[in-house]
Chain A
Amino acid sequence: MTLRDTKNGSGPDNHSPVTILVVEDDDAHVELIRRGFSGCNDTVNLLVAMSVGAARAEIMKAPPDLVLADWLLPDGKGAELITSTHGLPEIPVVIMTSHGSEQIAVDVMKSGAIDYVVKSETTFAEMPHISTRALRQWKTMRDHALAEQALHDNQQELELALQAARAGVWYYDIQNGIIRWSKEYALLLGHGSETSCPDYACWVSCIHPDDRDLIHRTIPKKTGPCERDIDLEYRIVLPDGNIRWMNDRGRVFFDPTGKPIRVLGISVDITSRKMMELALQQEQEQYKNLVANINDVIFSTDPHGVLTYVSPVSERVFGVPPSEAIGRHFSDFIHPEVREEVREQFSESLHEMLQGFETRVMLKSGKVQHIRISGRVVSNNGEVTGVTGMITDLTERKQLEELKVRAFQQIEKNLEQLAALNDQIRNPLSVIVLLAGAAGGPEGKKIIEQAMEIDALVKKLDQGWAESAKVRTFLKKHYQITKE
């Protein structure tokens, strides 16, 4: 290695000569040092200062790469030139003394000098070598300090990231059963800032009893096969009894024989997400129950009318379970007589709201059911993606309507029969009265009186009939019954 190779930094500057500031008040010594560097004129730029003050002025002008300073100078000590930032000297300084002593050596090294040499002719001749060594050492120190700083910064960044993500890291020594975790994980466990638990069993004790089995099954044992990657969701029980959901992802490391030796994991608090998932799940469950328990069928189709969803009660209407209905065109279930018409109605409805309409379906058994279909066109960015709607089974309603009409027809029939009956009774009565009237006399009068008594009874029936006729009119008006 040459002096130039030891120069700080990198880049084009690397090829410029190394600047060495010699701080020495003895001209003879300066001369001897110059001679020592005489073979390195193209790589070393030697500057000389006779005092601490002059040296400071030189350093202020342009900091040299190395300072070779005498221990004792007219205005102070060479060690005064040593300045440091964060424990790292800004410029490497080698101290030279005329008389070597253990005390001076200790003082020099304490002051932060990078090296200490005792002046002698040999030492002066060795100056390029001493300088190279000092610069190399200083470079190593500097690199080490920078690496330490970077590590410290990285660690701080990691801690910040873990805190922000509500996450922690842990390490499990499988063969020794030792577990360690970051302070963030300890906080998530509710363990204050303790960063280790005595053993695996202690860690498991923090986990919800219902999830411990999952942990036992997933975390590798000392022997036996195991997965390389771990992905776990489990609950921990906090000291106050609250539950916290965690998601752990880990990597298992194996020894050359394939035996698992340790697991490194990152653990994230997913309580909020889990609560949202549970709420959503509950909501979905409620929705599912609602859809399953209403009597109407909820359905959706693609834009061509192929069923993409039907609620469980659809079996009652279509006669097949949802699994068999989904994937078929909805019109497959419509009564063949009206199928084409309903298909056309569906195609037309894709341009607007699907107006409710009544139609019939035919079951496999040939049974005909009356239904009402209503729905809404679903579109995305103006493009029709399907139809969603509801099918109501009208069979029962239709049956009731038919019963109503039949009952009404029966009332009508009874009324007509009663009116006819009264009329028919009055015909023979009329004959009797006319004959008796024509015959005259007390007997005729008596017969007429009897006949009129019968008529009075029939009149009561008439009155009942008139009342029933009023009921019929009422029914007709308020129940929209039309005689078929």
Chain B
Amino acid sequence: MTTILCVDDNADLVELLSELLTMMGYMARTAPGGEECLRMLKEEGFHPDLILLDIMMEPMDGWETLQHIRKLPGNGDIPVVMLTGKYPIMSEVETYGSMIDDYLMKPYHPNQIDELIRHILSRAEQGREVIRKARECGFDEGLLEEYRHLAAEVEVLKRFREIIGSTEHFNDGILVKAESRFSVIKGQLATAGVQV
């Protein structure tokens, strides 16, 4: 069963979200903040399939929690979706754009969250499949790691552009760079007969 960890300091919201996810057929667990989330991962050895992470939390906010998660051995590749009421700014996009799997603004509809989870999991699954085949073809592990990151990053950057594009100038440069590198890798894989 797919397990999802919901991290939010708003008790009502995190409880409700957990109930909804359970109703949707996921196994949901909650953490009231970044510290508890890290404790569960480190001490309990809990390895969820996805983490839904709020940003505005005290004392450890979502961004800091994310950085710790990415450094945890064995947990560095858990998909993390930022689920927040905080409007992103360009500097955050530049710093964290390559470290997350999606960014969803509150308030969101139950269907939206269901679709998002399915999409993230399916993308992760597809990615794993591509990587397996590519590995068989003898591709370099570093390149495959890069492919996995870029698959998420390109979508995340597009999401950010969608959210903040109307307010401030979105630096398209980083998206163009990520997309072109992703195309190059996909081209290399396709040439070798790996379906992407």
Query: Which residues of A are at the interface with B, using a C-beta cutoff of 8 A?
Result: 419-420, 422-435, 437-438, 448, 451-452, 455, 458-459, 462-463, 465-467, 469-470, 473
Contact = CB atoms under 8 A, between A and B. Distances in A.
12 contacts: A419-B86, A423-B56, A424-B56, A426-B105, A426-B107, A427-B10, A429-B107, A437-B109, A465-B87, A466-B164, A466-B167, A473-B91
Contact of A422 (B10, B23, B85): B85
A279 B107 CA distance: 84
A202 B108 CA distance: 115
B8 to A, nearest CB: 8
Contacts of B168: 466-467, 470
A429 to B, nearest CB: 4
Given A419-B56, A437-B111, A463-B167, A430 B87 contact: no
Nearest to B110: A437
A435 B86 CA distance: 21
Contacts of B110: 434, 437-438
A46 to B, nearest CB: 137
B10 A435 contact: no
B55 A431 contact: no
Interface extent on B, as a size class? 20 to 34
B106 A427 contact: yes
Contact of A432 (B20, B89, B107): B107
Nearest to A460: B167
Interface in B99-152: 105-111
Contacts of A467: 167-168
A431 B167 contact: no
A430 B106 contact: yes
Given A427-B13, A434-B16, A448 B86 contact: no
Contacts of A455: 107
- Centre residue among B10, B13, B85, B107 by max chain A CB count within 10 A: B107
Contact of B107 (A419, A420, A451, A466): A451
B12 interface: yes
B17 interface: yes
Interface of B: 10, 12-13, 16-17, 20, 23, 55-56, 84-87, 89, 91, 105-111, 164, 166-168
Given A423-B86, A423-B106, A433-B108, 19 more contacts: A419-B87, A422-B85, A422-B86, A424-B85, A427-B85, A429-B106, A429-B107, A432-B107, A433-B107, A433-B109, A434-B13, A434-B108, A437-B111, A438-B23, A438-B110, A459-B87, A463-B167, A467-B167, A469-B89
Contacts of B89: 466, 469
Nearest to A452: B107
A469 B164 CA distance: 13
Given A425-B85, A429-B106, A434-B107, A420 B56 contact: yes
Nearest to B58: A420
A474 to B, nearest CB: 13
A427 B84 CA distance: 8
A459 B107 CA distance: 11
A92 B12 CA distance: 153
B6 to A, nearest CB: 12
Contacts of A424: 56, 85
A458 B91 CA distance: 21
Residue in A422, A428, A452, A462 whose Cβ sees the most chain B Cβ within 10 Å: A462
Contact of B12 (A431, A462, A473): A431
A433 B105 CA distance: 12
Nearest to A433: B107
A448 B10 CA distance: 20
A423 B84 contact: yes
Q: Tell me which of A434, A463, A470 has the highest count of chain B C-beta atoms within 10 A of its own C-beta.
A: A434
A448 B108 CA distance: 10
B41 to A, nearest CB: 24
A445 B65 CA distance: 35
A463 B88 CA distance: 10
A418 to B, nearest CB: 10
Contacts of B23: 438
B124 to A, nearest CB: 24
A438 B20 contact: yes
Contacts of B13: 427, 430-431, 434
A437 B106 CA distance: 14
A275 B28 CA distance: 101
Contacts of B107: 426, 429-430, 432-434, 451-452, 455
A44 B166 CA distance: 144
Contacts of A420: 56
A394 to B, nearest CB: 34
A420 B87 CA distance: 10
A466 B56 contact: no
A473 B17 CA distance: 36
Nearest to A438: B110
Given A419-B87, A430-B85, A462 B106 contact: no
A432 B86 CA distance: 18
Nearest to B164: A466
A473 B12 CA distance: 35
Contact of B55 (A423, A428, A459, A462): A423
Contacts of B109: 433-434, 437, 448
Contacts of B20: 434, 438
A172 to B, nearest CB: 97
Nearest to A429: B107
Contacts of B111: 437
A213 B121 CA distance: 113
Contacts of A423: 55-56, 84-86, 106
Given A429-B107, A430-B108, A433-B109, A422 B87 contact: yes
Contacts of A428: 12
Contacts of B106: 423, 426-427, 429-430
A462 B16 contact: no
